[in-house]
Amino acid sequence: MEKKHIASKVESVVLLVFILGMIGYFIIGLKAPPHIPILFAFMVTLGFGFVKRVSWSVMDKGMREGISSGIVPIFIFILIGVLIGVWVASGTIPTMIVYGFEFVSRDFFLVTVFVVCAIVGTSIGSAFTTAATVGIAFIGMGGALGYDLAIVAGAIISGAFFGDKMSPLSDTTNLSPAVAGADMFEHIKNMMWTTIPAFVISFILFFIVGMNVSSETTVELTLFQDTLREYSIISPITLIGPLLLFVFAWRKIPAIPTLLVGILSGVILIFVFQPETTMQQLVSIMQDGVKSQTGVADVDALLTRGGIQSMMWSVSLILLSLGMGGLLIELGIIAQLVHAISSLVNTTGKLVLSTACTAMGINFILGEQYLSIILTGKAYAEKFQELDLHPKNLSRVLEDAGTVINPLVPWGVSGVFLTATLGVPTMEYLPFAFFCLLCPVITVILGFTGIGITKTR
């Protein structure tokens, strides 16, 4: 990144402001899906490259490298789509919903969602898996209880990303200290300075919102549960799949084989409880998901989901955004942005602020949380050393402004996945993802006050 100077600082800033302004106008102003504005931004970036007389082979290389960073997440998306389909068909998700109604209070529903997702996320170290399992169950319960699904999604995402941020099993929790040069467990301990206040404030906000939101049930709960029991398999045996995910996560088995085992468990349960299922029907479930026809609209909306095709909307958007991101890196635009911001740093407060802004900016420009951590960490590591700041300060900022911001980006990998999985647009749940919104604010405040900032000497 240091060697790329194709674009000047002024050109880079102007181009990025134009791109983000155009995308924002389409998504917020016109309420359009993000695919087309991202495609237009992609075309503008290509046009800039041609104006600067950059060869097609160079730009092609940038696009390929950008897309290659998303191959594993895309494959995981596809597997989760299949997992959701077979878990609905095998009764795993309906069982979690029916059992959940017996333990969850309507008055404390939002705080329960937040805390449970935080516990599950910390246990398995994956916000994606948390949202795709207990998250879907809570969406179904929230809809039946009459809650605004945007608020429910905000509670799910807040809890899931608390876990993704604090779990030693999480990719980002391992990546951030590795990039910054800090010990992982020291990094987790240091994150409590920002994470605990964000968790407590989020808990209070979800409690207040839950007390003040009028939840008029959209369907009589007894009918809802009876319909699930009649048309789905409700049995504790169907919870074997989630149990296996927990076990595999604790044993630090990678996501792809873990998801494959979860899918296999669901397929076996389908044939155990519904031996009349044909191979053609199973293939249809895995490809196109479950098509529920119970006659109860709310139940059908909940159970009609999953399959590979359900993730294609997400996959196409990720390919576009990562391709554009790779092009921006290859043209030197991201490098110039980072250099422009980092050159203004001369105090601890300004350093933390500029690091956080860079991590958030890369999230919004590239749509990829791993790149926001890696690029920002490499760019600011020297600055933290110059000010005698311990590397764990840098790794904490990378998590506070990198990991938890990606779900707030409509074209980001996390935002795209969560919208497809929970069925709630990113811009709708964004105001209620309290934990994700609070973390960068708190980390900047601590940077200027010096609270929780550790010096190397």
Range of weakest confidence among 95-109, 212-226, 248-262, 350-364: 212-226
pLDDT single digits (tens) 129-187: 889 888 988 998 888 888 899 999 999 999 999 988 988 878 888 888 988 888 888 99
Residue written as token pair 């516990």? 119
The mean pLDDT value for 353-361 works out to: 90
Closest CA to 409 of 30, 24, 51, 67: 24
Question: pLDDT digit string (tens) for 184-240?
Answer: 889 999 999 999 999 999 999 999 998 876 555 545 677 888 888 888 888 999 999
- The residue ranking higher by pLDDT, 375 or 48, is 48
Residue 429 maps to a domain:
yes
Q: Identify the pLDDT of residue 3.
A: 47
Asked if residues 128 and 78 have their Cβ atoms less than 8 Å apart, the reply is: no
Q: What tokens does 93 get?
A: 């998700």
Q: What is the pLDDT of residue 152?
A: 94
How many Cβ atoms are within 10 Å of 235's Cβ, its own excluded?
A: 17
d(CA 152, CA 142): 6
- End-to-end CA separation in angstroms for the chain: 31
Is 163 within the bounds of a domain?
no
pTM: 0.84
In a domain, 216, yes or no: no
The DSSP 8-state label assigned to residue 278 in this structure reads -
**Residue 447: predicted pLDDT:** 92
Is the C-alpha dihedral spanning 244, 130, 414, 315 positive or negative? Answer: positive
Q: What is the pLDDT of residues 368-395, one digit of tens each?
A: 888 888 888 888 888 888 888 999 999 9
63-72 pLDDT, tens digit per residue, is 998 888 778 8
| Residue 236 CB burial class (10 angstroms; 0-12, 13-18, ≥19) | exposed
In a domain, 17, yes or no: yes
**Looking at the domain assignment, is residue 15 inside a domain?**
yes
The answer to whether the CB of 332 falls within 8 A of the CB of 7 is yes
Q: What is the mean pLDDT of residues 298-303?
A: 82
Question: What's the total number of domains in the chain?
Answer: 1
Cβ-proximal residues to 342 (8 Å cutoff; 6+ apart), any chain: 354, 358, 379, 380, 383
DSSP string, 327-392: HHHHTTHHHHHHHHHHTT--SHHHHHHHHHHHHHHHHHHH--HHHHHHHHHHHHHHHHHHTTB-HH
Residue 322 has pLDDT above 80, yes or no: yes
In three-state form (DSSP H/G/I as H, E/B as E, the rest C), the secondary structure along 3-34 is CCCCCCHHHHHHHHHHHHHHHHHHHHHCCCCC
- Which structural domain, as residue segments, surrounds residue 55? 9-70+312-449
* Nearest alpha carbon to residue 410 among 419, 401, 402: 419
- Distance from C-alpha of 32 to C-alpha of 220, rounded to nearest angstrom: 34
Report the residue count for the chain: 457
Pairwise CA distance, residues 108 & 123, whole Å: 22
- Mean pLDDT, range 53-62, rounded to an integer: 90
The average pLDDT across 405-413 equals: 90
DSSP string, 165-199: HH-TT-HHHHHHHHHHT--HHHHHHHHHHHHHHHH
> Per-residue pLDDT averaged across 99-110, rounded?
81
* Contact indicator for 139, 153 with CB cutoff of 8 Å: yes
Residue 96 lies in a domain: no
What pLDDT score was predicted for residue 149? Answer: 92
Tokens of 402: 């990198």
Query: Is the C-alpha dihedral spanning 167, 171, 174, 179 positive or negative?
Result: negative
Q: Could you tell me the pLDDT band of residue 457, with boundaries at 50, 70 and 90?
A: low
Domain-located, residue 249:
no
Q: What share of the chain is helix, strand, coil (3-state, %, to 5)?
A: 80, 0, 20
Q: What is the mean pLDDT of residues 270-293?
A: 92
CA–CA dist 393, 405 (Å, integer): 18
Q: Is residue 394 part of a domain?
A: yes
